[in-house]
Chains A and B, each alone.
Chain A
Amino acid sequence: MGEVIGSVDIDHLVLAAATAAQGATSRTVLEAVEAEFLGKRSELAGAHRSLGSMDEQARKSAGAVLNAARVQIQQAIEECRVGVEAAERSALLEADRLDLTEVVSSSIASPVRRGHQHVISQTQAELEDVFIGMGFTVADGPEVETDWFNFEALNIPPAHPARGMWDTFYLELGEPETVVLRTHTSPVQIHLMEDAVANDTLPIHAVMPGRCFRRDTPDARHLHTFHQIEGLVIDRGMTFVDLAGVIQTFTTAYFGADISSRLRPAFFPFTEPSAEYEITCTICHGEGCRTCSQTGWIELGGCGMVDPAVLHAVGIDPEEYSGFAFGFGIDRCAQMRHQIADMRALVENDLRFVEQF
């Protein structure tokens, strides 16, 4: 016999509680066990109430015994709870079990309905198709890049103020600020050129669509995650005049015969000479409106002759090959074509939006 407090045999009680907990087969039963042994009407609670009639010395020691017993009972129940929950979960899973090789496909009722491709992937495909028609192949590249591909090989050396032109997300990998979420699709240019040099497969005529990231608080006009398409031509005899021709051909092919392009001097570290690429405002067709700030033109992207420093970085001889690059936003094209007022709709995936495209 163990200690008896207020007619309760404590050791016996602890043992009985542990046995009851171990016998529980469900959470419900376990909760009942908990109420029986630890609840307000439990023997333990009764024993606690009997403390009031004891002298101080006895109350202290009996109180300690009761508290120890409570902890022991709680532990026993908790230990069982893990097992009971696992057993319940596995019973549920067992009851739910389905042999996926006994699915009778012909019995699946499915509404007759056509789905919708996301407006961005549709726009990307349309842009790709225009460029494919112009003789471009389509290349992909990774979304995580090193500073070498995203910056340095593109003539943006470390600590160069030009790096400030891009708000960059850095990853917690490698040395600080060496691994980035690509801020543009331009690093794909470097991969293409390095591969072409290594495999002796120059020239290059490619466009590179893809997801890019800039650390910029999203608003109605910008998201920090966006899509770009970039073009690169490296061949013998390519000039600024050829670039202007490619830009113009693309512009009318994609936007329509009444939309024209123009180039304006600009600065990008990876092209020289560089230009901003503008098109006739698609809202007012050049008349001037609020969208184009009354100029009749809207800025679409950047372009230029590949900087000799970039060619040098990838081992292409600028005396033998020249080339040009251009790039602009896929999301921006979609925004213009569909007059999307708030770009954040693109990532909300609201069916009422998705189903419009």
Chain B
Amino acid sequence: MKIPLSWLQSFAPFPSDVALLTAMLDDLGLVVEGSERVGEGLEEVVCARVLSIEPIEGADKIRKITVDAGGEPLVIVCGAWNFEEGDVVPLAPVGAVLPGGFAIAKRKMRGVSSHGMLCSAKELGVGDDQGGLLVLSDLVGSDPGVKLMELLGITADVVFDLSAEGNRPDAWSVLGVAKDLAARLSLEVTMPSFGVAAASGNATSTSASAANAVPSQCSGLTVTAAHGVVVGASPPLIAQRLALSGMRPINNVVDASNYVMLELGQPTHAYDLDSLAGPALGVRLAHPGETLVTLDGVERTLGLAGRGLGQLPEDLVIVDGDDAVVGIAGVMGGGATEIHEETSALLLEAACFDAMAIARTSKKLGLRSEASNRFERGVDPELAGAATKRFFEILSLTCPELTVDEPSLTAAGARAPRTLIRATPARFASLLGVDLDGETIGTLLGPLGFLVEHDGEFLDITVPTNRPDIRSMPLGIADVAEEIVRTYGYARLERRFPSWPAPGGLSQSQRLRRHLRAVLVGLGLDEVWTPTLVPETDAHALHLDEPLVTLANPLAEQERALRSSLLPGMLTALRYNADRRQDEARFFEIGTAFTHPDVASAPRSAKAGAGGGAATALPQESTHLVVTLRDNRDDATTAVALWWALHEALKLEEAELVQPIDGSLVPANLLAGHHPTRSALIRSRTTGVNYGLVGEVDAPVLEAFGVERGSRVGLLVLDVTLLEDSGLVPRRTLRATPVSRYPSSDIDLAFTLQNVTPAGRLKEALVAAAGDLCTSVTLFDVYRGQGLPEDRRSLAYSLRFEAQDRTLTDDEVGALRAACIAAAEQVGAVLR
């Protein structure tokens, strides 16, 4: 919202110190997004009459112009061609500094001395036209030597660009801002007057009528007829203020309406009376499918249901005496009844519509206007009369013959009772933390229009009608508290650090995630952040054919789905780096994977819809840890080694790696993209819960995401949501085992085992046979090839034995060795 300082100052004698006002407005919550000085540098510019135009020898772009600027004739060299001898144009004499800091000096061009510069509108900052000079000949009073600012009625000004918050409908006007500032500065606000009044017309013959068929959505419709209108340009002051406020001046009628809206915050609309069926207006709901061509020339269809927030098929319309639609209430008027050059009589509509009704229609039609913006925030229901009066006062400036039918006709609607807030000063203190007595509160609120009365220990506070944002009791206490502290000044508040006896801390699952990050970073991995929103094709490339969770309104087609797996994002990250000659990377990410409620193992359900009355099934959100390893020679074995390191760090009870993978045991998205013969399920031996996958990414998947052919990518996926639950994935005991004081004994055993039997099976047999005295069983060599049958490989294990209370004898160790060999034979292993 742009507001010229001069307009503000017409309400109260505000200081002109821009920095001071900026700080004050900011502290009042009227954030100054910027401020701009206008009219600066035009002080020296004068009107000059062109006396003669002569060519300059050897120059075809510039000419020698002699002008009369009120003194001796001056010679100017000029490159513009859009004027003739006798025209009046603006001259910036030598010594002038134009807007933007351009200093005019005496210059010599092609041997001709130039004593100033003739200017275009753009160069002067008074318009956008830079096609030629600003020709002033037609303006009354454009005599040589007259100051341009005087001629155009321009005064040096400062324009503030303010942003008022959504809960401050009152601040969306010059008057509202003036009231806030005046309260802070203890100044009186007075309504400025242009000192003219329109004559009263005949109240009986042509008096307007108004009808209100929707009193619940229109608290009042005020209609006024006027004759003797002459459509033309607005006075310079009005036009200039509108322009500085960012509205293009159109004609005196439309400008008066806009001026009143900017100044008071009340939108009005003027209809060409002769285009209406008589001096009558009404407001009603549009019939389904009814149409209107609005001012912008677009045909709008009304009364239909829209999507989402615009679901209700209700639109407020303004109709004439024949019940024909002539405007969309609070949004935009119709083209057919627009004010035009020949308009001599008009009908003015000033109304107050329900904020939600206007918001609904505006959203449904995708049509926003200055008027709808204001109605959506809430317009003072008592403003229509004052706005009507002000409109005709401004119109009278250009229409001396104007007669206004009085009184205006108002069709009243349902008006909410005045909001009353009743609370003790202590109640406000309990919210604000600062003790203010009733009198102080009265002083703070009074200038904003609140009426504060004392009733014993209570304050009875009547809310002004321009604050529809302030709710009734009891919620309104907080709203009034904000007004109190706003005028008191946030900056003046004390700061107190509260304390409470409860300790802070992370949840168990947060500690786990931090631990995972720390361990993986320690193991040399880099953490990445990959997108939640992905193309639907990602899932197809992973052969995930379950339904996806998709967006109704994606920004781009490749961001339509919520990821069901983190893997595509991570492969894309590998590829991104490979494309930049950074082939070797080990990445991990901990993030959310989504599963459609139709196929979720644990779907969520939550309150949804208006009032939270309906239950809606929501996607399952699982936290996944995904690791992709693509450093030199990385493959499934690296992933397995990494997994056991992580397993150790997490102090898990022993996991087993299960091959081949039975896809029915875990959610499909946990297994997405794995290599079928080089991956294993991770399963808790204790509970049998499968909580992850370790191995490699399948080659066709790598290819689908552009990771170079022939390279292997090690893969580890953990369902962190399962891992968080130590009931499902148990941790090792915290109890320490004493270290034996006696030497340990090692035996190494090498077996051949059929390729089809997992080495893990042999290890299990060895662990079982070795018993409690065995502290470790470690695979240290695998061999295939010469000397071995094709279908067998050699596996060499080292077993360490020790006892807490003695040194083991050779016999004891020998017996254990024999037991281990026998157990190995049970699974088909043969000692080498």
Contacts and interface: CB of A to CB of B under 8 A. Distances in A.
A152 interface: yes
B675 interface: yes
State the majority secondary structure of interface residues on B: mixed
Contact of A175 (B500, B609, B678, B699): B609
Contact of A242 (B433, B604, B633): B433
Interface residues on A, range: 35 or more
B543 to A, nearest CB: 13
A143 interface: yes
Contacts of B552: 170-172, 176-177
Interface stretch (B90-98, B187-195, B345-353, B506-514): B506-514
A115 B28 CA distance: 49
Contact of B616 (A133, A146, A169): A146
Interface stretch (B52-60, B245-253, B414-422, B579-587): B579-587
B781 A104 contact: yes
B582 A352 contact: yes
A142 B592 CA distance: 9
Contacts of B29: 264-267
B12 to A, nearest CB: 21
B178 interface: no
Interface stretch (A7-15, A26-34, A304-312): A304-312
17 contacts: A100-B640, A101-B758, A104-B782, A110-B641, A115-B586, A116-B521, A138-B504, A146-B606, A147-B609, A159-B310, A169-B554, A171-B551, A174-B609, A241-B494, A308-B478, A312-B475, A349-B528
Interface string A197-229: 000000101000001010101000000110000
Nearest to B357: A159
A48 B551 CA distance: 55
Contact of B166 (A94, A162, A175): A162
Contacts of B498: 233, 235, 237-238, 242, 245-246
Contact of B525 (A115, A144, A172): A115
A159 B305 CA distance: 13
Contacts of B814: none
A55 interface: no
B496 interface: yes
Contacts of B503: 135
A39 to B, nearest CB: 29
Contacts of A244: 493-496
A137 interface: yes
A105 B576 CA distance: 30
A245 B795 contact: no
Given A115-B521, A135-B500, A248-B495, A173 B549 contact: yes
B610 interface: yes
B491 A262 contact: yes
Given A169-B554, A242-B497, A161 B166 contact: yes
A211 B166 CA distance: 26
Interface stretch (A59-67, A75-83, A269-277): A269-277
Given A108-B641, A140-B510, A179-B618, A165 B166 contact: yes
A263 interface: yes
Interface in B758-809: 758-761, 763, 778-782, 793, 795
B592 A99 contact: no
Contact of A265 (B360, B490, B631, B795): B490
A138 B606 contact: no
A150 B699 CA distance: 42
B512 to A, nearest CB: 12
A346 interface: yes
Given A115-B523, A171-B552, A96 B679 contact: no
B797 to A, nearest CB: 10
A351 B779 contact: no
B517 interface: yes
A258 interface: no
Nearest to A191: B606
Contact of B779 (A102, A118, A272): A102
Nearest to B509: A140
Contacts of B491: 262-263
Contacts of A276: 31
Contacts of B506: 128, 132, 137-138
Contacts of B528: 118, 349, 354
Interface in B302-320: 307-312
B691 interface: no
A350 interface: yes
Contacts of A101: 657, 659, 680, 758-761, 763
Interface residues of B, number: 138
Contacts, number: 371
B462 interface: no
A138 B168 CA distance: 34
B431 interface: yes
Nearest to A175: B609
Nearest to B499: A135
Nearest to B679: A100
Contacts of A53: none
Interface of A: 92-94, 96-106, 108-118, 120-121, 125, 128, 131-140, 142-149, 152-153, 157-163, 165, 169-179, 181, 203, 205, 211, 213, 215, 217, 224-225, 233, 235, 237-242, 244-249, 262-267, 272-276, 305, 307-309, 312, 318, 322, 346-352, 354-355
B529 interface: yes
A224 to B, nearest CB: 6
A96 B517 contact: no
Nearest to A108: B641
A174 B617 contact: yes
A137 B508 CA distance: 11
Given A176-B552, A350-B577, A211 B532 contact: yes
A98 B637 contact: yes
Q: Which of B165, B360, B490 has the most CB of A within 10 A?
A: B490
Contacts of B307: 176-177
Contacts of A322: 430-431
Contacts of B333: none
A115 B504 contact: no
B356 interface: yes
Contacts of A109: 633
B485 interface: yes
Contacts of A117: 517, 521, 527
A255 to B, nearest CB: 16
B594 A144 contact: yes
B526 interface: yes
A137 B31 CA distance: 34
Given A132-B505, A142-B621, 20 more contacts: A112-B524, A121-B529, A139-B507, A144-B562, A149-B606, A161-B355, A169-B551, A170-B308, A170-B552, A173-B597, A174-B617, A177-B552, A237-B498, A239-B430, A240-B493, A241-B434, A262-B490, A276-B31, A351-B582, A352-B582
B618 A146 contact: yes
B514 A125 contact: yes
A94 B504 contact: no
4 closest pairs, A vs B, by CB? A265-B29, A241-B433, A239-B433, A101-B760
Contacts of A352: 580, 582
Given A115-B524, A224-B555, A102 B644 contact: no
A171 B550 contact: yes
Interface in B20-72: 26-29, 31
Given A105-B641, A132-B505, A173 B433 contact: no
A179 B549 CA distance: 11
Given A179-B618, A215-B555, A272-B482, A308 B477 contact: yes
Contact of B608 (A93, A98, A178, A248): A178
Nearest to B358: A161
B641 A103 contact: yes
A125 B576 CA distance: 27
B532 A143 contact: yes
B608 A179 contact: yes
B456 interface: no
A100 B679 CA distance: 7
